[in-house]
A = this chain, B = another copy of it.
Amino acid sequence: MTLPNAAEAESRTVKIREVGPRDGFQNEPETIPTAEKIRLINALGRAGLNRIEVASFVRPDVIPQLSDGVAVLDGIDLPEDVDRLVLVPNSRGLDNALAQRELFEEVALFVSASETHNRRNINRPVAETMADVKKMGERIVAEDLGFCAVIATSFGCPFEGKVPLDRVLDLAEQFAEAGATELGFGDTTGMCNPAYASRFFAAALERLPGIEVTAHFHNTRGQGLANAYAAFEAGCRSFESSFGELGGCPVPAGSTGNIATEDLVSMFHEMGVDTGTDLPALIEAARAAQTVLGRKLTSHSIVAGPVVWAAPDTDTGA
């Protein structure tokens, strides 16, 4: 056996950012007690996830489920190498976040590619959000914080239908100009299919050289991992997911969960792709969330556990 070269090794490694503590918890009908959140986030950190979106500086009257964000940031105890991310909707949110500057390493900004979805989600026209992004970007860069951005409804909008690929990538370039080093593309309401994911990520990677391109799929119609596989095949090496398949979107009602971190990790590990995470520990964290929430979650690995290969590998391995 010859040693793989660096490019080949690179191609068999993906980054996974855990968004369950923000994207998942904010969509729960009942607010999860702060101590339980802290316990679950600590478990995620111990499972090897080294980027976790922990809090959101949104208005507590709009999303009361995340109103304890500072207490959560203050209470968690994560390994040294874990980056804590906070989501910020506007300059007012950034003011509040920067008042806690020492509690996180990265800021995530977002906009919807669909005008209607942006207005319904954060009550602002896209142009106004992007003008604010420019100002926020300067401050984030000046603070020497990590700066990533997520574009919601990148693959379709329940209100506007198909979203032109160029419109999405134009917004991505505006974020990059504002200083973002990572661009995530969100399938907010689960409208992507793997053929389009393949085409989309090939185009995004070509249009955004030097930018980390991240896929954020929902499993609304069970296709989430098919989309992730297609994006991987197109060259994407960074993914957002949510333990237990938690998550969704505040609008429209009925939008269901993100792809499950443990199902995504199971797929990549079986493909021989390194994620840097401990699958059994991730499954334990998802099961703990199930207990806290008091209902069955829709992740599949939570039931089946990891694949167990009874005998040593043969030449049939993937």
Contact = CB atoms under 8 A, between A and B. Distances in A.
B199 A310 contact: no
Given A222-B266, A307-B156, A161 B194 contact: no
Contacts of A199: 318
Contact of A221 (B190, B296, B301, B311): B301
B256 A303 contact: yes
Contacts of A161: 309-314
A80 to B, nearest CB: 31
A303 to B, nearest CB: 6
B158 A308 contact: yes
Interface stretch (A34-42, A62-70, A129-137, A225-233): A225-233
Interface in A256-286: 256, 259-260, 263, 266-267, 270-272
A267 B197 CA distance: 12
Interface string A164-201: 11000000000000000000000000110111100100
A263 B222 CA distance: 6
A300 B229 contact: no
B256 A162 contact: no
Given A300-B219, A300-B256, A226 B315 contact: no
B162 A307 contact: no
B225 A310 contact: no
A299 B266 contact: no
Given A164-B314, A300-B256, A194 B309 contact: no
Contact of A260 (B195, B222, B260): B222
How extensive is the interface on chain A, given as a class?
Answer: 35 or more
A206 to B, nearest CB: 16
Q: How many copies does the complex hold?
A: 2
A159 B309 CA distance: 8
A162 B193 contact: no
B193 A267 contact: yes
B311 A271 contact: no
A290 interface: no
Given A223-B267, A308-B158, A316 B165 contact: yes
Contacts of A196: 270-271, 316-318
Interface in A198-251: 199, 219-226, 228-230
Contacts of A228: 226
A74 interface: no
A288 B311 CA distance: 41
19 contacts: A156-B307, A158-B310, A160-B311, A161-B311, A162-B311, A193-B267, A194-B229, A195-B270, A196-B270, A196-B316, A219-B222, A220-B304, A221-B266, A221-B301, A222-B260, A223-B266, A226-B226, A229-B230, A255-B304
